[in-house]
Structure 1
């Protein structure tokens, strides 16, 4: 059996993996998820696994269970609510479960460790915020080095939210997207230097010069050449 995560970074990574799995169920795989939540079945739960996979299953029979359990009976409300409202409700309960699992693992951390864990988790938009399109970036943190796609750059210093692959809830930015409607949109920006996709918010757009000011989740800002970004396929615009 794989050892449970013990350090702050290991617990935070477990949180991120489970979160990405739940997001996939509620966005990219939502039709499959919806069909599996048959109200005629017994009480069902939505699980996010540390390997990034999700499943709809019966609760554990073991009492008490090894880990905190997700909310029970998500399938019973499926046909009694608007689909988007039901998905939002599942997202809220999924966030509560993710925090329960993280702090189950983190119960043995000291005060500083728990604060560090919460800071890492709180820097990531919740499942609810992401699913409903209400995700906002978090201010604060150390200023980032400028991204220069035409020459090598040093390693990024801030701990901005990033993942090895896009969240799967967006599409690549195109020339047709470069207009004032981009302001306030959420996107993911690829950094070839560390092969990570960083969650950003587009704050302002210069349509004529095809430039944009963006902000990372650690509060650092940057000016981008959108022509280069589009040419290289380095931005995934999160769909609304």
Structure 2
């Protein structure tokens, strides 16, 4: 295996949220890309949510039995045979089932208390089906959930030149990047604590489909809101972190390992 399986309830929940965030973007913010990827003329295709928060439409694993539970086979075949909203809802249902299957595959060695803790974390967010069908409200697509307004991200308006501040190790730029930097992970509910202040992250804007480097300047744990600074400039934005987490729109920079002397 290329990566160790998550083992604790927190690690498994992080994996679930990352995979869920990728699939959610495929079914909402990046739905046109997802639609085009699901060509009914191709072979059986599956929608995967990846551990790094990305999504992909691929052929199923050739390994039998597969290393992990596999998602629904042939999501592309029904694309042109039903209304788009119904097709997306169907994909969402099957994706919800797959996410749960993967989570509890990892959770096989947890005890009753651990499984209960994991389920509570998973159940803190709406299902993909609830989001796609409107049972759980999404923020306006012109801005990230909880942002202070404007149809374009501050980073896109500024496009400032200049070096990123010390401590930012990502590959992002002020003008935005198509993908989050390698080595980042999705912001999770349990991350919302005073320890988050000063953290480097990348924020996704659905309006242009780009990721922007930011630093978390202040945090209100009570309201679960944060003030973020777009890098490397001086513009700030207030965010509702629960909405950001729900939609998978922030990736945290992982702390660097200390170098040996």
**TM-score with structure 2 setting the length:** 0.57
Equivalent position of 2:101 in the other structure: 100
Contact in 2 for aligned 1:44/1:59 (Cα 8 Å): yes
Equivalent position of 2:66 in the other structure: 65
Check if 1:193 corresponds to 2:218: yes
For the residue of structure 2 that corresponds to 1:99, the secondary structure is helix
CA distance in 2, matches of 1:61, 1:53: 21
For the residue of structure 1 that corresponds to 2:218, the secondary structure is coil
Relative distance call for 1:120 and 1:79 in structure 2 (3 A) is same
Relative distance call for 1:23 and 1:42 in structure 2 (3 A) is same
The number of residues matched between the two structures is 171
Equivalent position of 1:26 in the other structure: 27
Which residues of structure 1 form unaligned runs of 5+? 137-157, 172-189, 199-215, 223-230
Relative distance call for 1:232 and 1:167 in structure 2 (3 A) is closer
- What is the CA-CA distance between 1:133 and the residue it aligns to? 2.3
Check if 1:234 corresponds to 2:238: yes
- What is the CA-CA distance between 1:36 and the residue it aligns to? 0.9
CA distance in 2, matches of 1:70, 1:167: 25
- What is the CA-CA distance between 1:66 and the residue it aligns to? 0.3
Which residues of structure 2 form unaligned runs of 5+? 138-188, 209-214, 225-234, 245-261
Per-residue deviation, residues 162-214 of structure 1 (Å, max 9, x unmatched): 9966675589xxxxxxxxxxxxxxxxxx97435xxx9xxxxxxxxxxxxxxxx
Contact in 2 for aligned 1:8/1:113 (Cα 8 Å): yes
Contact in 2 for aligned 1:124/1:161 (Cα 8 Å): no
For the residue of structure 2 that corresponds to 1:234, the secondary structure is strand
For the residue of structure 2 that corresponds to 1:193, the secondary structure is strand
Equivalent position of 1:127 in the other structure: 128
Contact in 2 for aligned 1:5/1:105 (Cα 8 Å): yes
For the residue of structure 2 that corresponds to 1:41, the secondary structure is coil
Q: Superposition pairs for residues 60-209 of structure 1, below 5 Å?
A: 60-135=61-136, 159=190, 168=205, 192-194=217-219
Relative distance call for 1:40 and 1:161 in structure 2 (3 A) is farther
Relative distance call for 1:125 and 1:165 in structure 2 (3 A) is farther
- What is the CA-CA distance between 1:109 and the residue it aligns to? 0.3
CA distance in 1, matches of 2:18, 2:43: 27
